[in-house]
Structure 1
Amino acid sequence: MKKSILICMIAAMFFACKSASSTASTDTTLSKKLDRPTQVAIKGNWVLTNVTYPGSDYIKVNSFDLADSKCFIGSTWSFISNNNKGNMALTSPSCTSFSSPIVWSINNQGMFILKILDAGEKAKKVREGYLLKVAGVTESSFQLIDNINVGGQVKDVTYQFQRAN
């Protein structure tokens, strides 16, 4: 009996997990009350250096509905704070490359709001985006923390960014 329960638990962990924030409506979160100091602190060019979460050896996470979270390691991100635009590009040789303009902001609750745009698409036409917590902001690094649901439990996915040279 114990073996069958253990096998079921391991099998459940092999299923791909999707970000819990992927269905967040951005209509109500893009308020006029923004955390400008934090936005200015992360303006510039960054490299996503690591993605960590509990069970990463057994669970695959589909980050931002684009690719496996490990494909984001080495991706480049540009954040422009005066107009809340930017760009992100996946460049991992073992994954499909991807590049897209983004629109972003940080609200006064410390939540990073991200919209990934298709070419030529206006941000105001995109109704859904991603909400992530901002943490550990320094001059050279910061983290974005997302949530996933694994077997009914919410787990953190941490994206570690380092300032690009």
Structure 2
Amino acid sequence: MSLFKRHPLNLPAAIIAGGAAGIVSGLVKLGWENVLPPRTAARDATNPPQTLLEQFGIPKQVTHATYTYSGHQLPWVSYVIHFGFSTTFAVLYQIIGEKIPAVKKDAGTWFGLAIWVAFHLGIMPAMGTVPSAADQPKEEHVSEALGHIAWMVTNDLVGAEVYRRLTQESRRH
């Protein structure tokens, strides 16, 4: 059995499937964080996407910009970063997973955990965007680890189905 699939990748279908999956999984991850908030209210006053943008010199009045819906002030700039991250990794997962099936082992569970480890325990602490892994509360680790699994399993399910439908449709014509 080869590590690589032998059929050709339909790149436009993979990008569309990953993009659709990233939007849906981004919503799942936001919902997850409402059930198991990863950060305290104090740490969320300036959340990691806002902190990251401020580290790049973007002023606080931009990073904390909001829109109002149903009486709630919602951080649209944070959502742009959140969904940008989600769709970027969903597209990469879809493309790489179509060529290297091992990436999709256990419906993306390991890929999701790898992203969590890389970003939440490695890259963002190294940049000073979030505290070091040792200084993050255990509730944050639990929420983020399980949330990244739910996020990537959603990417796996939605991306696979959209890709299947798009490629099946293109084979009919």
TM-score normalised by the chain length of structure 1: 0.28
Q: Which has the higher contact order (CA 8 A, sep 6+)?
A: 2
Say which one has the larger Rg: 2
More strand by share: 1
More helix by share: 2
